[in-house]
């Protein structure tokens, strides 16, 4: 966690009373809410080297561009020095601070038809479609500070070189090889959110306001769509059986793409890659925690053990992950 010194420096940089600061979460970044005047804002502290600052500046530049061109997103605010970020150092740690207007609305709720259902899916798709359309013509102000481009993962954990873990690793390597061979034309590949899931937007009167652009990369538009669909299946289905998940995925993508294609056209070729990218997102989810695993299986939770067993069983049977066996 950031020290009180870092928090005070952030308050001074963004000109707010530190007494209004409320801690919200700490996963990839530390996130806080603060107030200034009668407005609520979000403070994000990223524990990264100062050398990473150009990447975050590129994120802010793209976000400003999207909002300027009609995308509903949480707009960043500037520091007292008119910068899009502030960089701090304390106790051998660097922090990059950014701040945003707090989005209006609420998270999704699969039990509330005002917060989950066809209208939400279409608006979600329309928002992403607009982002992708704008991405096709976007030129970053600083070519040296561009966001990263999709690349294969580097998996050097020796504990993954055996048994069922190696089966998961082989599946990942095989999928990345297939994905790496896909075309990268400007109509299908550009700057994407790369994590546009239901906990990265608020819903207000069915309107979507997107935030958390810190995973944005240059990648395939159909990958961005697949990430949305995969998380919708993970968190938005009322039953856990395979048939229900696949039926939901089909219905979700039908509505989502109806909204998406109001803003950006996706060819049939790229639509057919969505299940591939959905399965890729599924297999990647295991390596979010396996990549640094210490080899001790007793460290797994029961849910993690069950998830590994189920994934391996699907791979052995040559079956796609739940929700990925669809036609688009």
Structure tokens at 59: 């994120």
Q: In 16-160, at which residue ranges do the beta strands (DSSP E only) sit? A: 22-26, 30-36, 39-46, 86-90, 93-101
Q: What is the DSSP letter of 139?
A: -
Structure tokens at 29: 């970044």
Tell me if residue 71 falls in helix, strand or coil: coil
> HSE on the CB side for 179, CA within 13 Å?
24
Structural contact between residues 244 and 322, judged by C-beta atoms closer than 8 angstroms: no
**Block residue for tokens 């998406």:** 260
Radius of gyration of the chain (CA): 20
Sign of the alpha-carbon torsion through 181, 187, 192, 198: negative
| Sheet hosting strand 22-26, strand order edge to edge | 22-26, 30-36, 39-46, 93-101, 86-90
Q: What's the pLDDT score for residue 1?
A: 87
Q: What's the pLDDT score for residue 217?
A: 98
Choose among 283, 284, 288, 295: nearest CA to 160.
Answer: 295
Predicted TM-score of the model (pTM)? 0.96
Structural contact between residues 140 and 58, judged by C-beta atoms closer than 8 angstroms: yes
> Backbone phi, then psi, for 195, in 5-degree steps?
-160, 40
Q: What's the pLDDT score for residue 17?
A: 96
Structural contact between residues 63 and 70, judged by C-beta atoms closer than 8 angstroms: no
Structure tokens at 236: 């938005």
Q: What's the pLDDT score for residue 121?
A: 98
Q: How far is CA 291 from CA 84, 156, 180, 295, in A?
A: 33, 8, 20, 10
Structural contact between residues 63 and 213, judged by C-beta atoms closer than 8 angstroms: yes
Q: How far is CA 41 from CA 32, 33, 64, in A?
A: 8, 6, 16
Q: What's the pLDDT score for residue 27?
A: 84
> What does the buried/exposed string (b/e) look like for 99-126 if buried means 16 or more CB atoms within 10 Å of the residue's CB?
bbbbbebeebeeeeeebbbeebbbbbbb
CB count within 10 Å of CB 292 equals: 9
What are the tens digits of pLDDT across the range 21-67? 999 999 889 999 999 999 999 999 999 999 999 999 999 999 999 99
Q: Do the strands 93-101 and 189-192 form a parallel or antiparallel pair, or are they unpaired?
A: unpaired
Q: Tens-digit pLDDT profile for the chain (328 aa)?
A: 899 999 999 999 999 999 999 999 998 899 999 999 999 999 999 999 999 999 999 999 999 999 999 999 999 999 999 999 999 999 899 999 999 999 999 999 999 999 999 999 999 999 999 999 999 999 998 877 899 999 999 988 999 999 999 999 999 999 999 999 999 999 999 999 999 999 999 999 999 999 999 999 999 999 999 999 999 999 999 999 999 999 999 999 999 999 999 999 999 999 999 999 999 999 999 999 999 999 999 999 999 999 999 999 999 999 999 999 998 8
Q: What's the pLDDT score for residue 28?
A: 87
Choose among 53, 77, 80: nearest CA to 142.
Answer: 53
Tell me if residue 194 falls in helix, strand or coil: coil
- Distance, first Cα to last Cα, the chain: 44
């Amino acid at each position: 966690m950031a020290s009180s010194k870092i928090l005070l420096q952030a308050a001074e940089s963004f000109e707010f009373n530190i007494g209004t600061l409320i801690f919200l979460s700490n996963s990839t970044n530390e996130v806080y809410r603060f107030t200034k005047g009668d407005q609520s804002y979000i403070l994000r502290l990223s524990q990264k080297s100062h050398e990473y600052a150009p990447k975050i500046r590129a994120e802010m530049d793209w976000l400003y561009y999207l909002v300027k061109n009609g995308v509903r997103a949480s707009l960043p605010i500037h520091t007292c020095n008119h910068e899009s970020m502030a960089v701090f150092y304390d106790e051998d740690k660097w922090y990059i601070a950014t701040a945003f207007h707090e989005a209006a609305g609420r998270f999704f709720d699969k039990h509330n038809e005002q917060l989950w259902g066809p209208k939400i899916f279409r608006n979600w798709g329309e928002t992403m479609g607009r982002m992708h359309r704008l991405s096709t013509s976007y030129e970053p102000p600083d070519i040296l500070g561009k966001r990263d481009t999709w690349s294969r993962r580097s998996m050097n954990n020796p504990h993954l070189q055996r048994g069922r873990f190696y089966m998961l690793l082989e599946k990942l390597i095989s999928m990345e090889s297939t994905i790496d061979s896909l075309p990268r034309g400007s109509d299908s590949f550009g700057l994407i959110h790369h994590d546009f899931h239901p906990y990265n937007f608020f819903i207000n009167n069915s309107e979507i306001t997107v935030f958390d652009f810190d995973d944005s990369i240059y990648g395939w538009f159909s990958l961005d769509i697949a990430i949305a669909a995969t998380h919708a299946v993970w968190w938005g289905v009322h039953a856990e059986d395979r048939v229900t998940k696949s039926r939901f995925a089909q219905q979700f993508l039908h509505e989502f793409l109806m909204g998406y294609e109001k803003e950006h056209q996706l060819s049939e070729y790229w639509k057919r890659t969505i299940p591939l990218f959905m399965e890729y997102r599924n297999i990647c989810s295991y390596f979010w925690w396996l990549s640094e695993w210490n080899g001790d299986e007793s460290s797994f939770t029961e849910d993690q053990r069950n998830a590994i067993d189920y994934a391996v069983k699907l791979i052995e049977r040559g079956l796609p992950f739940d929700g990925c066996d669809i036609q688009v």
